[in-house]
Amino acid sequence: MDPSFMQLALDLARATVGLTSPNPQVGCVLVRDGQVLGAGAHLYDQVDHAEIVTLKQARAAGYDPRDATAYVTLEPCSHHGRTGPCADALVAAGIARCVVATSDPNPAVSGRGLARLRAAGIDVRVGVLEAEAREINFAFACSITLERPCVTIKAALSVDGLLAPPPAQRLHTAPFFLTGLESRAEVQQLRHACDAVLSGIGTVLADDPQLTDRTGLPRRRPLMRVILDSSLRTARTSRLLNPSNQDVWFFCSAEASLDRATSLENAGAMVTRVASHGAGLDLHAILAHLHQASIRSVLLEAGSELNGAFLRQHLVDRAILYYAEAELGSGAVPFARDYPGPFALEQSIKDVQKRQVGADVCVSGLLRDPWTTSTGNPTPNPLAII
Ligand SMILES: [Zn+2]
């Protein structure tokens, strides 16, 4: 019965997408004699962790949690944060058994919650539906272990792996779409699941995108639109800034015009100056700023320049590539500058997944396993050996 109750806890965790960051998505189910006494999930704005939500729910329904089994999708915490340790709460509640899908990704605390439960005589089982549980909190785990946001590269490509027709063939009166409606709807879901979307000035000038989360689903923080714009060429009239809001963050070089910075700030945007290396801004510095702002996950939706820069610097953790049926041929814009291309990237993915999405094919997968990566000593990114 363990997998089926854990599946219920995972479903509860999954349903909180957009509502827990910077915390992980966690679900919990409390069961005794096959009867569910309580079931809940963590929501950041309601503070309580999943275990506490569930214990409270069971008690409110008139159940004493004593001798019950708790199914939790992530190792119960053992530290004092905004709340007391959940491991202590489970011990105090007198549960007999705790089934955990995965240990904590933070090497500094991993295993401590489990040890505390075991020390109190609770029967602990770890690893039930572990892969699913780890997938749900992949971005959180990357962010904790790498101390920067998890970066997911997303691209819509032609069947021959190219990004867009040659600039001279582009119609500036209409947006250019390679992929179909189904793929574009999925991209909205990807934006919904991320804290920020990141793009470059080339994309802003070519497409004038909004880069918003248009799923209509609730999210606790607005999607941050991050634009790398060395000399602040984004027009005050761009769709990113209209209507004006606080959710646009420009990164520029130290030399960018003060007047342009002021103009963008007056439109509600944030402007941060970072060092530049050669042709591009310091990506490590930018990711450090985003990490400071509690941004756990970034969706990279950019052109060749930024795709190339992130890939060459091994700053991509997950790839999601949508291939259309159309071919673009020579002269088209490459996927990533000074990089072997999307097919080489696919070679670096662990457990490549291929799915049909409408008329398109989606190829996706992870480029690292944060659960085996320790802070300050990251496993070399497989892209390093291309
Ligand atoms: Zn907790």
Q: Has residue 250 got a pLDDT over 90?
A: yes
* Three-class DSSP labels, 194-245: CCEEEEEHHHHHHHCCCCCCCCCCCCCCCCEEEEECCCCCCCCCCHHHCCCC
Q: Residue 324 gets which letter from DSSP?
A: P
Catalytic residue among 51, 75, 132, 305: 51
Q: Give the Cα separation of 147 and 376 in Å (integer).
A: 9
207 pLDDT more than 50: yes
Q: Would you give the distance in Å from CA 134 to the centre of its chain?
A: 12
pLDDT band for position 247 (50/70/90)? very high
pLDDT bin (cut points 50, 70, 90) of residue 384 is: very low
Tens digits of residue pLDDT in 145-163 = 999 999 999 999 999 999 9
The string of pLDDT tens digits covering residues 316-354 is 999 999 999 999 988 999 999 999 999 999 999 988 999
The answer to whether the beta carbons of residues 47 and 82 sit under 8 Å apart is yes
Q: Is the pTM of this model over 0.85?
A: yes
381 pLDDT exceeds 60? Answer: no
Measured in angstroms, how far is the CA atom of residue 127 from the centroid of ligand 1? Answer: 18
Q: What is the pLDDT of residue 170?
A: 67
Task: Tell me the CA–centroid distance for residue 298 and ligand 1, in Å.
Answer: 25
Place of tokens 């041929």: 329
d(CA 123, ligand 1 centre) in Å: 18
Helix (H, G, I), strand (E, B) or coil at 51: helix
**Taking the C-alpha atoms of 17, 20, 21 and 26 in order, what is their torsion angle to the nearest 10 degrees?**
-80
Examine the pLDDT at 378 and tell me if it is beyond 50: no
pLDDT at 172: 59
Paired tokens of 218:
């609730």
Cα of 42 from ligand 1 centre, angstroms: 9
Give the distance (Å) from ligand 1 centre to CA of residue 69.
17
Tokens 């920067």 locate to: 148
What Å distances lie between residue 70 and 20, 50, 174, 337, CA to CA? 21, 11, 54, 50
Neighbour-count burial of 108, counting CB atoms closer than 10 A to its CB (0-12 exposed, 13-18 middle, 19+ buried): exposed
Residue 54 Cα to ligand 1 middle (Å): 12
Active site residue 255: no
